[in-house]
Every structure is written in C-alpha cells, then in structure tokens.
Amino acid sequence: MSRVHGDTGVFMGGTINFGFENVDKKWEIHKEESNYVKKIFQMYVQGISIKKIKVFLDSEGVVPRRSKTWNLHTILTMLKNRVYVGEYSWKDKESEEVFKIVLPQIISHSLFNRVQKMIDKNTKNKGNNLRKFVCLLGDLLVCSCGQHITGRTRSKNQQRFYGCRSRDVSFLGKKVKPCNNNRTMNMDNTDSLVMSRIQEVVGNSSILKEQFKKDILDKKSIDSNQISKGKKDLERKIKGLDQQLDTTIQSISVNEVNHMLKKIDEQRYKGISTILEQELSELEDKKKSHIQEVDDLDNQKEWVDWISKYGDDIQQDFKKPTTELLNGLIDRISVSPVMGETREGKDT
C-alpha cells in the first residue's frame, strides 16, 4: 500500500468508532451517538465515575459496537481516543507505514485535555484504598524513584500512612526504577509537618503576597467569559488548520499518483514532495501550538477560579486545609530518603 491511499476522511475498514458512521467509505458523525459521546466526556470531567457512566448508558438503551451492554474498559478507551478530536492514525500491516487521517471533530481539545488530566489523576491511585478516606497530600507526593506516593490504611489497626507505589506497580508487571524509600510515613504527622511548612512560607513570602494581590486585581479584568472566548477562537483556528492539513495530504496523494503514472519527472516530483512535506510539518506544529494554548487557558481559568475562592484570606483558609487549596499553591512534593543510621542502629 502506498501513500496515495492516505486520503483524508477515508474509512479504512473494520468496526468504526462509536459516534461515527461509515457513509460511502467516509468517516461521518453519527448525530445521535455523537451526542452520547459528548455526554460521556462531560460526565467524566464533572467527576462522575466510569461505573456510573456505564449505568447511565445501559439505562438509556445505548448499545455499544461489539456487545449488548457497556463495559468499563470500553468507556475508558473512548475517553483516551484522539479520534474524537478529529485525529486518526492508520497503520498498513504490509508496509507498516502510518497514515494520518483528518476526521470530523466531536469533542473540543479543551474538554479532551481536561479529561486526560483527570484520567491520569484517577489512574495513579488505582489499586489502593485511598478513596476510602480523605487524603490531603495524595495528589502531590512524588517519590524520588518517580512513582507516586499515595495514602493507605493498615487493615489491622486502621493506621493511616503514605507509601511509595513502586512495589505495587512492579507487582503488576511494569518496569520501575529501584526505590530507596522503603519506609512509610505516618499520614497525620506528615500532613501536619507539610502544612506548617507551607503556612510558614506563605506567611513570610512577600513575593507570594504581592502575587496574590496582583492576581486578585487581575481576575477582575479576566473573567471566565474572556477565557471561554479565547478557547473558542483557538478551537476555530485548529479546525481551520485541520482543513489545511486535509488539503495538503490530498495534494501529497495527487503528487504520488502523478509520479506513479509518470506524469511528472523525478526532479519535479521530489521538489513538490519536499515543499508539501515541509508545509505538512509546519501545519502540524501550528496545531500543536494552538492545542497547548488551549491547555494554558484552561490552567489560567483554574488559577482565576482558585484566586477567586482562596486569594482574599489565604491564612484563614489554612485552618481547614483542603486538597483543592493546596493544588493551587503546590505542583508537587518530592520525597527522598535520608541515608544514615536508623532508630534501630542500622545503616540505610
């Protein structure tokens, strides 16, 4: 198979993804199914579990592609699939060449990116009993080995503690770096220590105080409507770039056909190929840049919302700290072991 078959929007066979339909061997949006695709993404970003999304779909009588009812893995796979933002890659089994196909878009890049962040956050705690109790630092602690440190309880005495997940991840068959954080940390003592340190830094940091003042003033002129407008403008630009990518890929296909049919000589073929491949690369770079800008605006909205909620009296909020409060101040807390003699007199 050659590049000429990599025409945009062409359905290459198999079972088409839920939300789309095959119309004359072209990807087209299925009106009814696409509404449920949007609903699935919206429900997840609102914090609704995949189990509840499954119950919703089954109770609505929505039928998936290959079974009578929905399963959790299918829904999670859908939430990760870039086909819903109009991007599809098809690999030819014979040549192993990958073809990029531009599709009609169902989900905005903003919504898709926010869903991916939530999936990452939820996945890192999978397999432990963190969700059985409130865990203040569970989203922030990262071990020096690169794995997340999560909260747990000991079943015998219900003692709460933080521990590196490297052993759990290794048990699942995944490769992990050697971890020297062999000890767990008492959760209450760790929370208290970290909170006191954060309060000390916030209270003594003139830079942070000035930043709060500046952002509190700025948020009056930067509201959610402006950010939403900015995201819509960027999404519109991305769709425009998708149309240009569509045209460029078609031009590449035509050039390949002309070369195969010997309508153009080798030198002209190579010259046109170089120009079109460069144009394709530039368009893809622009699209990536705009997608990143959408993500930046989403982060800006989160910060504006955080400042609106906590910025006026940050010290007062520390009396009853929440994970949301800390996420606005801290990106991550790295935990490294201190080598030396233990309480039992052993070297570590």
Query: Domain limits of the chain?
Result: 1-124, 205-330
pLDDT category, 132, cuts 50, 70, 90? very low
Task: Check if CATH label 1.20.1600.10 holds for domain 1-124.
Answer: no
The Cα–Cα gap between 234 and 290 comes to 6
- Taking the C-alpha atoms of residue 243 and residue 61, their distance in angstroms, rounded to an integer, is 35
Task: Label residue 6 by pLDDT band (50, 70, 90).
Answer: very low
User: Cβ neighbours of residue 312 under 8 Å, at least 6 residues apart?
Assistant: 216
Q: Alpha-carbon distance 276 to 343, whole Å?
A: 67
Give the Cα separation of 56 and 44 in Å (integer): 12
Answer for the pair 297, 231: CB distance below 8 angstroms, yes or no. yes
Has residue 134 got a pLDDT over 70? Answer: no
Question: Do the beta carbons of residue 138 and residue 121 sit within 8 Å?
Answer: no
- Tens of pLDDT, residues 202-244: 666 555 556 655 655 555 555 677 888 899 999 999 999 999 9
Alpha helix stretches (DSSP H) within the chain = 31-45, 50-59, 72-80, 109-124, 166-171, 187-204, 206-218, 224-260, 266-310, 314-317, 323-327
pLDDT tens across 263-317, in order? 999 999 999 999 999 999 999 999 999 999 998 888 877 766 776 666 666 666 6
Q: Please give the residue that has the higher pLDDT: either 182 or 54.
A: 54
* Res. 343 pLDDT band, cuts 50 70 90: very low
Which residues does residue 101 pair with via DSSP β-bridges, in sequence order? 88
pLDDT at site 172: 73
The confidence score (pLDDT) of residue 133 equals: 52
- What pLDDT does 4 receive? 43
pLDDT score of 42: 96
On average, the pLDDT of the chain sits at 82
Lowest mean pLDDT among 56-60, 102-106, 296-300: 296-300
Band (pLDDT 50/70/90 cuts) for residue 75 is very high
Give me the mean pLDDT over the 124-148 stretch: 70
pLDDT for res 91: 78
| 335 has a pLDDT exceeding 70 | yes
**What is the predicted pLDDT for the residue at 131?**
44
Q: Is a pLDDT exceeding 90 seen at residue 51?
A: yes
Give the whole-angstrom CA distance, residue 112 versus residue 310.
27
Q: How many whole angstroms separate alpha carbon 24 and alpha carbon 298? A: 38
Query: What pairs with residue 21 in β-bridges?
Result: 28
Rounded Cα distance, 83 and 69, in Å: 22
pLDDT class for 130, splitting at 50, 70, 90? Answer: very low
Query: At residue 186, does pLDDT exceed 60?
Result: yes
pLDDT reported for residue 204: 63
The model's confidence at residue 49, banded by pLDDT at 50, 70 and 90, is very high
- Greatest mean pLDDT among 4-13, 77-86, 148-157: 77-86
Residue with tokens 């909020």: 317
> Taking the alpha carbons of 107, 111, 117, 118 in that order, is the dihedral positive or negative?
negative
